[in-house]
């Protein structure tokens, strides 16, 4: 069977304690800097400045214990995510943090049987690699191997992989290889990322071979609720991403965003080619027409697009776009404006900075909703859209009264049912949907609400 599920409360608490305690090697003055970078409230060495030289200073252990005690249980995961991005962690500790954060994702369980059948399918190939260095780096990235207990000298724990896979190929079957590195019982998402690495040109730089391997494992993964999609290219070779069934198999091709009031004017230029022409000008809606690859859509991508579209310098493009986004959100609602500003303030020092696009058209129907009746599209516009690595489409919605009440502010089960049904439709179509209340985005709560959420949402997105 697959690896045992992680106990969310216990594991998050103990892992957070271990991370905080691991700062003990720092000097007192460096603890202050680390606390700021990691979002920890670490008390000063001298709690009462007026008592310097008279009172007893706190030890580093005391300061770190107090910092841990100040963390609310609901913030454990956010702290772990912060350490993953800003802390100097060992590979073993990084993997444990990743596993904890990934365990929160709604990822299909990949049983030991599925993993064994994948290994057996790959055994049909003479070897599962063409580039030895690529395979070794892939193993080191995802699997932590213990050093032999019987060795009295420092030993490379990955030496058995080198010996049995490269020096004497054929010593291990693929199933034995999976077993030795821990792939038979490791986390579900880690196993998927490992398989994506096997299908990559870094390990198998031959397109025909890549496609043969995809064909061999696809039926097995389909039974586990997964599918292999061709998500782009890298150095001329196809790249493949494994996603849950229901996830969109193609990168986004067109984004209509920052829309003002009213529907954009569209027409089909060529029905056979499904060519859409946008008749509305930039004053009403912005049209991002560059296909978005597997690495997601960054703010830099959007800036570059606008700079080329308008023939203006990058700095000017950045300023113009920012003003447009802020204006659109301010016109929509104070809560949407607060979320936008808080996100970009949170993410400004991150690389890459993934774009958060407001007022994005999802559905478009030339016939009005009143005429269309029960068959009308719900959630025609999304409050915010993010396109993240791995073909993830993330929708953020800010709930105002229109989501659950009539214009006269009377609670309406019908309106609320439309909201929830629209969310179900989006999720079944492969979108992740997250809702915020206006209360969470009030002036004194927006910063913490946004930073805590994106710490968890983007955990792992900044590591290759």
The tokens 């990743």 sit on which residue? 98
- For 225, left (φ over 0), alpha (ψ -120 to 50), or beta? left
143: which 2 tokens?
A: 């699997």
The pLDDT score that the predictor gives to residue 439 is 87
Phi/psi of residue 93, each to 5°? -70, -40
> Which residues lie across from 131 on neighbouring strands?
none
CB 308 within 8 A of CB 270: no
Higher pLDDT, 119 or 462: 119
Reply yes or no on whether the pLDDT at 385 is more than 70: yes
Residue 457's pLDDT band (boundaries 50, 70, 90)?
A: confident
Residue 91's pLDDT band (boundaries 50, 70, 90)?
A: confident
Residue 8's pLDDT band (boundaries 50, 70, 90)?
A: very low
pTM across the whole model: 0.62
Domain ranges of the chain: 8-102, 112-244, 255-457
pLDDT in tens, 176-218: 999 999 999 988 989 999 999 999 999 999 999 999 999 999 9
% of residues, the chain, pLDDT over 70: 82
Reply yes or no on whether the pLDDT at 5 is more than 50: no
> Order of strands across the sheet with 357-361?
357-361, 381-388, 392-399, 431-437
Q: For residue 115, give Cα distances in angstroms to 195, 206, 245.
A: 10, 24, 18
CB 411 within 8 A of CB 404: yes
Residue 139's pLDDT band (boundaries 50, 70, 90)?
A: very high
Residue 3's pLDDT band (boundaries 50, 70, 90)?
A: very low
pLDDT in tens, 38-59: 888 899 888 765 544 456 788 9
pLDDT in tens, 414-445: 655 666 777 787 887 778 889 998 889 988 88
The tokens 């930073």 sit on which residue? 451
Cβ-in-10-Å burial (0-12, 13-18, 19+) of 348 comes to: exposed
Phi/psi of residue 298, each to 5°? -105, 160
Which residues fall within 8 angstroms of residue 375, CB to CB, at 6 or more apart? none
């Amino acid at each position: 069977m697959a690896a045992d599920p992680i106990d969310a409360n216990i594991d998050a608490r103990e892992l957070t304690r271990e991370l905080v305690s691991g700062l003990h090697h720092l000097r007192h003055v460096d603890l202050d800097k680390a606390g700021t970078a990691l979002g920890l409230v670490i008390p000063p060495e001298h709690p009462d400045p007026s008592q310097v030289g008279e009172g007893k200073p706190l030890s580093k252990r005391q300061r770190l214990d107090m910092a841990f005690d100040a963390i609310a249980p609901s913030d454990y995961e956010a702290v772990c995510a912060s350490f993953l991005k800003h802390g100097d962690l060992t590979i073993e500790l990084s993997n444990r943090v990743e596993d904890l954060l990934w365990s929160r994702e709604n990822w299909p369980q990949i049983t030991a049987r599925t993993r064994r059948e994948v290994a057996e399918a790959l055994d049909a190939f003479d070897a599962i690699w063409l580039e030895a260095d690529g395979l070794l780096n892939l193993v080191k990235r995802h699997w932590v191997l213990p050093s032999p207990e019987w060795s009295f000298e420092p030993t490379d724990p990955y030496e058995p992989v080198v010996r049995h896979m490269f020096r004497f190929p054929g010593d291990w079957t693929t199933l034995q290889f999976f077993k030795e590195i821990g792939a038979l019982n490791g986390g579900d998402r880690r196993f998927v990322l490992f398989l994506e690495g096997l299908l990559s040109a870094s390990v198998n730089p031959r397109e025909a071979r890549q496609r043969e391997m995809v064909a061999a494992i696809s039926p097995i993964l389909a039974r586990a609720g997964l599918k292999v999609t061709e998500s782009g290219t890298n150095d001329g070779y196809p790249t493949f991403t494994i996603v849950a069934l229901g996830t969109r198999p193609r990168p986004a091709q067109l984004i209509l965003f920052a829309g003002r009031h009213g529907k954009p004017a569209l027409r089909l230029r060529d029905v056979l080619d499904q060519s859409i022409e946008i008749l509305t000008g930039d004053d009403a809606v912005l049209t991002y027409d560059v296909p978005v690859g597997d690495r997601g859509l960054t703010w830099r991508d959007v800036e570059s697009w606008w700079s080329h579209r308008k023939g203006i310098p990058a700095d000017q493009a950045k300023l113009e776009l920012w003003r447009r986004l802020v204006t659109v959100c301010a016109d929509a609602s104070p809560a949407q404006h607060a979320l936008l500003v808080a996100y970009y303030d949170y993410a400004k020092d991150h690389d890459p900075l993934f774009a958060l696009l407001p007022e994005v058209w999802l559905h478009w129907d030339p016939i009005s909703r009143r005429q269309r009746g029960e068959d009308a599209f719900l959630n025609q516009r999304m409050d915010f859209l993010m396109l993240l690595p791995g073909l993830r489409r993330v929708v953020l919605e800010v709930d105002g009264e229109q989501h659950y009440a009539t214009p006269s502010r009377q609670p309406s089960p019908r309106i609320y049912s439309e909201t929830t049904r629209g969310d179900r439709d989006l999720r079944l179509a492969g979108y992740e949907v997250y809702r915020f209340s206006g209360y969470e985005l009030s002036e004194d709560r927006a910063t913490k609400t946004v930073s805590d959420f994106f710490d968890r949402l983007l955990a792992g997105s900044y590591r290759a």
